[in-house]
Amino acid sequence: MQTHEIRRRFLDHFVKAGHTEVPSASLILDDPNLLFVNAGMVPFVPFFLGQQTPSYSRATSVQKCVRTLDIEEVGITTRHNTFFQMAGNFSFGDYFKKEAISHAWQLLTGSVEDGGYGIDPTRLWATVYLDDDEAFSIWRDEVGVPEERIQRRGMKDNYWSMGIPGPCGPCSEIFYDRGAEYGVEGGPEADEDRYIEIWNLVFMQNERGEGTNKGDYPILGPLPKKNIDTGMGVERVAFLLQGVENVYETDLLRPVIDKAAELTGSVYGTDHTSDVRFRVIADHARTAAMLIADGVNPGNYGRGYVLRRLLRRIVRSAKLLGSEQPTMREFMIVVRDTMAPSYPVLETDFTRIENVAVGEETAFLKTLASGSALFENAAETVKSSGKSVIAGDQAFALHDTYGFPIDLTLEMASEAGLTVDEDGFRTLMAEQRKRAKDDAQARKHAHADLTVYKELLDRGATEFTGFDELVSEAHVLALIVDGVRVPVAKAGQDVEVILDRSPLYAESGGQIADIGSLTAPGLEAKVNDVQKIAKKVWTHKVTVQKGEITEGDVVLAHVDAEWRKGATQGHSGTHMVHAALRQVLGPNAVQAGSLNKPGYLRFDFSWQGALSDSQKQDIEALTNEAVASNYAVNTFVTDLDKAKAMGAMALFGENYGDEVRVVEIGGPFSMELCGGTHVGSSAQIGQVTLLGEQSVGSGIRRVEAYVGLDSYRYLAKERALLAGLSSSLKVPSEEVPARVEALVERLKVAEKELEQTKAKAVLAAAGEYVAKAKRIGSVLVIAEPAPAGVGGNDLRSLVTDIKGRLGSEPAVVALLGDVDGKVPFVVASSKAAQGLGVKAGELVASFGPKIGGRGGGKPDMAQGSGSDSAGIPAALDAIRDRVGELAGGS
């Protein structure tokens, strides 16, 4: 049975049982505790907590999930994936244990002809929480599972929570017995490789508090209602029903493995190490594609860093399997072809997904090339010192600073006849992970408490009147101060005001909130901000300036007209720039975030590489031509499928309802799904001036622009600046660029001449230093302070010149500078001195601590820097003493 059919049968089964089918939420939710949605119940948490009332009492979904706690363990075990699909059925105070167990059993054991999975019931085991006699009895007496196939387990295994304060409860798990060839008898308690968990029924009835691990947290009390949260692992059921050995060999993942075998020349199933690499490619390629589809881009922090790690592990694994060419495009194509039947976005948005993934691969291949060079330097230093082990901190620096994978370091070390201090590396990695884990734990807190808004959310959405008017009469439904409902707020107080209707726009879709006021007889209050609660209720952040406001009052809600005018210019301008940008760059340039406010817009888009000057000029020109054309701006509401069929742009990473609002500017010029406020015609936007374009992350560029009067003011300043330069340079304004270019060129020539003069002066001092040479044992030693202000390349050149003047004799030259509080140093050792055991790289250790510094290098030359210039005399003495110890003499 194919995976797509397994999904469909699950949803059909529960829809027939009266459940509402709910589409999967995005992998990215507005939750500070979660990088990604990691369980099927996450989108329903407010319902379980009683903070919101759902429009249905029972639901079913197949939720996209990503768990990244142990990325480096992927493929080593064959039961876990970073991306997985959790099929779930949920009851919000409707049915409970008996019905939940019955629904699961009927689907698992029901015949294929009747829509079930046809699993042999004698292969199924159940577990229940220690004292859950009710669930035990249901399994034994109602379902008919023999008592010996029902096991009681403790809090760690059979009590479920999100890992943070929130809803929780005892659970009952269903396991499938794969047979004696896969392990020992005795049920899940004995062997979870033989007995595979396929379904978890959580009896969500309590709320938990803070805790340190899965089995250590207090139960705060019961939830408002007893709920059901169940999850069936789609991938696990697939591998059992398809008769393969593990989740990586199912119909959705095995094709990626086969493609990897084709591209690398390696064979899956020959050895464990190679098999792990194949599984990493299959797992990570799918996860990466799904993350990119939901709007994640590679980066150095948070979600972006996770995606970057996944993509780089794919590249690394393919390379270790023998690939000599880029492979990412081929892997993404296979993921698209296998997953698109369930997730059409992988096909409709494939070009962008492919570009992001391939762009990261290209960048990382360059990193691997530079990392290889760094490794070779490290290996040469180890060999020249007569050692055979690359230090753990060097391997860690390659991994952490330069992104060079440890397994490649190990492989290259082996080829060079060296080993790596793996224990030292693992220790440093463990310390880094602990820091990351502690940081993540510090950022976690309880699920956002919306309890104070529950009554308001249940009442229904705020009516937004701002598309048609700037002043609306409204009723005050609630006043909230510091999270608590209050009956009245007086002058001087800051308060959240909930109205039944409002013309003020609540921040969303890149458009910042309106400002304005609330007035009534005797009342004046300033609206500073407007935000959405659970995407449906507007909360107005208000400062009461005069009088008082009371729950139940009738007020007039005013939008600041000038603010709104500027905001509509900025938002409509964003649509125009987006349309122009796609005309110039093509359909692959897709919005990846925006911010617009009065007079200003910021627009991020997916693209590899900087835009040329001509491209930026074309984008600005097309935008302003469209503005000048005075296109009509039309808005209308339709269903999502019709909007897409018309060509309306739906932005990735956004969740849309069944009905959407379309903003059309100039017919085909721009058509996007958008809930923001806009101008009446394009000419009202005014002049659009691009300020610049820059990178804000891997594969993401950003343009900024002024619109309307702000654009005029910016250009007026630029004109005044140009006029000032024209006057100062005494040339017409059109000749200013050429004159400035000429002046810059003259300045470069003068700076170069100055540097040459400085270098000559430095080298002229070489003869003076040679005269200061002292023989220590059989070695000529020059250990002196460097000329004032000399560091960097100049200092290296001076030391090299001095060493050359000393001829073939055993000689050491060490100069320590004092530049802006830093102590740059260079040490050189002649070939003859090296033969006596005096090596530059090792001398650094003798004096570095004296100046609070460190450095390194090869036997012939080493350099570095310190921070304590007061230690220079002692450092010079330490050099002389160490040479004496190595070469004899004093």
**Known binding site for Zn(2+): residues?**
571, 575, 674, 678
Residues at the binding site are 571, 575, 674, 678
Query: Bridge partners of 464?
Result: 502
The bridge status of strand 195-208 relative to strand 166-177 is antiparallel
Q: What phi and psi, each to the nearest 5 degrees, are found at residue 246?
A: -160, 175
Burial of 271 (C-beta count, 10 Å sphere; 0-12/13-18/19+): exposed
Q: Residue 79 corresponds to which tokens in the numbers above?
A: 């039961």
Q: What is the residue whose two structure tokens read 């073939």?
A: 808
Tokens of 853: 């510094």
Question: Is 228 strand, coil or helix?
Answer: strand
Which tokens in the block code for residue 625?
Answer: 């031509």
Please work out, in degrees rounded to the nearest 5, the angle formed at the alpha carbon of residue 481 by the alpha carbons of 447 and 523: 145
DSSP 453: G
Q: How deeply is 378 buried, as exposed, middle or buried, from its count of CB atoms within 10 A (0-12, 13-18, 19+)?
A: buried
Q: How far apart are CA 558 and CA 519, in angstroms?
A: 8
* Burial call 429-455: b when 16+ CB within 10 Å, e when fewer: beeeeeeeeeeeeeeeeebeebebbbe
User: How far, CA to CA in Å, does 5 sit from each of 8, 12, 296, 342?
Assistant: 5, 10, 28, 10
Task: With beta carbons less than 8 A apart as the criterion, state whether 42 and 162 touch.
Answer: yes
DSSP H helix total and E strand total for the chain = 26, 35
CB atoms within 10 A of CB 889: 14
The token pair that represents 759 in the structure block: 């270098």
823-829 β-sheet, strand order: 774-776, 779-785, 811-816, 823-829, 861-866, 854-857
Q: Where are the alpha helices (DSSP H) in 70-126?
A: 97-109
For residue 732, the SS3 value is coil
Q: What are phi and psi of 318, to 5 degrees?
A: -65, -40
- How far separated are the first and last CA of the chain, in Å rounded? 84
Please, which residues bridge with residue 670 across strands? 665
Amino acid 546 reads K
Buried b (16+ CB within 10 A) or exposed e, 169-196: bbbbbbbbbbeeeeeeeebbeeeeebbb
d(C-alpha 207, C-alpha 627), whole Å: 55
- Output the DSSP codes for 340-369: TTT-THHHHTHHHHHHHHHHHHHHHHHHHH
> Is the distance from CB of 425 to CB of 406 less than 8 angstroms?
yes
Whole-number Å distance between alpha carbons of 199 and 563: 54
Q: Using DSSP, state whether 492 is helix, strand or coil.
A: coil
Could you give the CA distance from residue 165 to residue 144 in angstroms, rounded to a whole number?
36
513 half-sphere exposure, CB direction, 13 A CA radius: 19
Q: What is the greatest pairwise CA distance in the chain?
A: 102
How far apart, in whole angstroms, are the C-alpha atoms of residue 330 and residue 309?
Answer: 19
Phi-psi region of 3 (alpha: psi -120 to 50; beta: other; left: phi over 0): alpha
- Among all chains, which residue has been given the structure tokens 């008592």? 147
**Phi then psi dihedrals of residue 725, to 5 deg:** -65, -40
Query: C-alpha distances in angstroms, 688 versus 405, 620, 621?
Result: 46, 7, 9
CB 562 within 8 A of CB 483: no
